[in-house]
Structure 1
């Protein structure tokens, strides 16, 4: 029969080196399991609907939707990463040091790709709203695909190099058996914070402030006959572009709200060791669950495509040519 101390250890057979479990009551543990499992399944399923919608229906192959597709891919992968947090409910990592390093590398890659996609979305809306005549020639589907692919490849290469020591020596920085941490040196941590968060977020905020100013001025012009007359010689933004800017603005704001706590904790941390068991991770991941809900709320084409997918109408010949807008 196990002693009380042994029951509190992640690995009872390693009395001297094992980490201690986070002791939770069975009811609390069950609620957390069910909540995280539900979030994980909802995140994967809802983002798969976004991916299938944009990939299948040709009328949705616009530059902006290609960016949403990239974001949905990263969000869908986040849904799988949430399953690792389910393993960590009792504070113990049972999957080994190599899997811990791989988990963190995937997390960093997906995170950076999401932020990179947000930057591209901000640039896309900035050009569409501030330079509408140049938008069709400057922002093409092929160019957007190239930029998205470049961001993903750079993110993979960058973080494999940044975290190479954790891959070469997995578990080196664990203080006990059953812990999952990765370590970045001070310079690497600062550079990663600047390149993965501070600089991209600064660009996003600056571009969207400019977009917001233009959208507000155009909206006021539409409501004012005097302003409308004075703006006769200027280029007006279409309602669809304004609506897209507002919708994607909501996506960006929600993204910042969900991600800022995680990066703020990283910024004020005394060392560069990052643990997998953190509440800020859950909030960060939850953003991936919210994005498809925002699309469903604001985009009629997404609601229509979901209906066609769930009723299996997409299996019909030539369904890819369905008019969605």
Structure 2
């Protein structure tokens, strides 16, 4: 048998240690390189969103405050969760001890739930903005948005505390040896979690974005009918707007489904969700990648973000009164 395929102990000095599978050095180097790249990219993109909204006064709006809080959640996923999950997969052993075994899944679930909650809130704001524009200024205030953000974070902390209560109380209960951290969410709590953190948010987002899309199309038709009598060249611009609205809607929903559907496969298949599953690392990383894609989907579609990035990288933010620069 090849030495690289032979199992070795996670902790050679302990007879109760779990066995590990040593990877070839080239494979280990590649995996760590990918881990560092994805983590840094996630942290960098979300940091740009946070800094841009904080620095430029014109961006201090309720909607952008929500976007900034979402970026904080995704930044923490890239900074804290991705390295831990990468280490678990690459080393094939749990090297961080009992306390981290209890806390790291809780942190992971809290940040994922918070990120999902923020995306739902963003869809609600977009719905109110497009479908109820006359009442938008009275409903979407800075105070209301901050209250929603607080409720989102608090609910995530409390909800995931209930889901993972047994694990945090006894993180070793499913571990068969030292150097293993197994998190098991049984079928019933897993089913509840499927509804609360996937089916319900996905349904709300799909319904609201569809209504936004239909309302936008209705507004476009009105503009198009008015343009017929004044300027026949307005139609191509209208069709371009329709295509852009449809493309944005498709990207938002499809990326969300692609990132989160695989993670809930065990529940759909009638199984317990466990970190010991052979495909757990794959579905977890697919879900984590959504934190890297969020700033691209929710921010790069805005021209103000592109202008802000340009001002950051050209160091114009160091100039006096750069906070007052108009980026919208």
Answer whether contact 1:262 1:284 (CA < 8 A) is retained.
yes
Task: Tell me if 1:115 matches 2:116.
Answer: yes
Q: What is the CA–CA distance in structure 2 between the aligned matches of 1:59 and 1:317, rounded to whole Å?
A: 16
Q: What is the CA–CA distance in structure 1 between the aligned matches of 2:312 and 2:252, rounded to whole Å?
A: 23
Q: Deviations over 1:231-260 (max 9, x none)?
A: xxxxxxxx99x9799757634542332122
Q: What is the CA–CA distance in structure 2 between the aligned matches of 1:23 and 1:4, rounded to whole Å?
A: 5
Answer whether contact 2:7 2:21 (CA < 8 A) is retained.
no
**Secondary structure of 1:21's partner?**
strand
Q: Name the structure 1 match of 2:130.
A: 129
* TM-score (normalizing by structure 2): 0.85
User: What are the ranges of 5 or more consecutive residues in structure 2 without an aligned counterpart?
Assistant: 231-239
Task: Tell me if 1:11 matches 2:14.
Answer: no
Q: Name the structure 1 match of 2:85.
A: 85
Q: What is the CA–CA distance in structure 1 between the aligned matches of 2:187 and 2:9, rounded to whole Å?
A: 32
User: What are the ranges of 5 or more consecutive residues in structure 1 without an aligned counterpart?
Assistant: 230-238
Answer whether contact 1:56 1:320 (CA < 8 A) is retained.
yes
Q: What is the CA–CA distance in structure 1 between the aligned matches of 2:5 and 2:36, rounded to whole Å?
A: 29
Q: Name the structure 2 match of 1:26.
A: 25
Spell out the pairing of 1:1-325 with structure 2 (5 A cutoff): 8-15=8-15, 17-80=16-79, 81-88=81-88, 89-225=90-226, 247=248, 250-268=251-269, 270-275=271-276, 278-294=281-297, 297-325=300-328
Deviation at 1:51, TM superposition (A): 0.4
* TM-score (normalizing by structure 1): 0.85
Answer whether contact 1:129 1:215 (CA < 8 A) is retained.
yes
Distance 1:184 1:220, change over 3 A: same
Q: What is the CA–CA distance in structure 2 between the aligned matches of 1:292 and 1:243, rounded to whole Å?
A: 18
Q: Deviations over 1:110-156 (max 9, x none)?
A: 01111111111111111111111111111112211110111101111
Distance 1:227 1:176, change over 3 A: farther
Q: What is the CA–CA distance in structure 2 between the aligned matches of 1:184 and 1:220, rounded to whole Å?
A: 49
Q: What is the CA–CA distance in structure 2 between the aligned matches of 1:112 and 1:24, rounded to whole Å?
A: 33
Q: Deviations over 1:65-91 (max 9, x none)?
A: 122112111110111211112312131
Deviation at 1:295, TM superposition (A): 5.1
Answer whether contact 1:251 1:291 (CA < 8 A) is retained.
no
Distance 1:227 1:265, change over 3 A: farther
